[in-house]
Amino acid sequence: MPEQEIYTDQKVAVTTDHVIIAGATYAVRNLTSVRMTVTPPTGCAMIVLNSMGAIMIAAGLLSCLIGATLVLQTYIEPGEHPARQYAADVIIAIVMAIIFVGAGVLVIARSGKARGVNRYNVTFVTSARETQALTSKDEEYIRKIVGTINEAMVRG
């Protein structure tokens, strides 16, 4: 039976005899099976983002504490107090606290998205080994390629 083209795009070409992925050619007759595998994301990005968020929240709370202390000192102690001269600093400390706490919460909330990025792979199994031939973040694309290669194995 002559070789028939089943699927073609910019990265992948599948015929009844061959699979070509990013310039690498695989003979369909040598494939025992093909499947989609999932590579979970590393936790490194999540750890870094959560740490940055926690540091920002701590800096914001410390800034708020300093501002509150200065405000309390000016109202508790009678007479002229040096803290009154720093009223602008108190306002800046409180604004910085709000900014840092908000940024910290935002960073921690966004770290959940960094955690959820799986990589999907087209994995070939031969008698000798397993090979990850193609990797993508697009699960549907990988499912489509795996289905097409399975079809080539059946037809070939």
> How much is the CA Rg of the chain, to the nearest whole Å?
30
pLDDT at 113 > cutoff 70: no
Say which amino acid occupies 54: A
| Spans of all domains in the chain | 5-36+120-127+137-155, 44-115
Give the pLDDT of residue 134.
94
Give the pTM. Answer: 0.57
Between CA 1 and CA 91 the distance in angstroms is 81
CA distances from 37 to 137, 146, 147 (A): 12, 10, 13
Average pLDDT over residues 140-153: 94
pLDDT at 42 > cutoff 90: no
Give the pLDDT of residue 84.
56
Going by their DSSP bridges, the two strands 12-15 and 119-125 should be labelled as unpaired
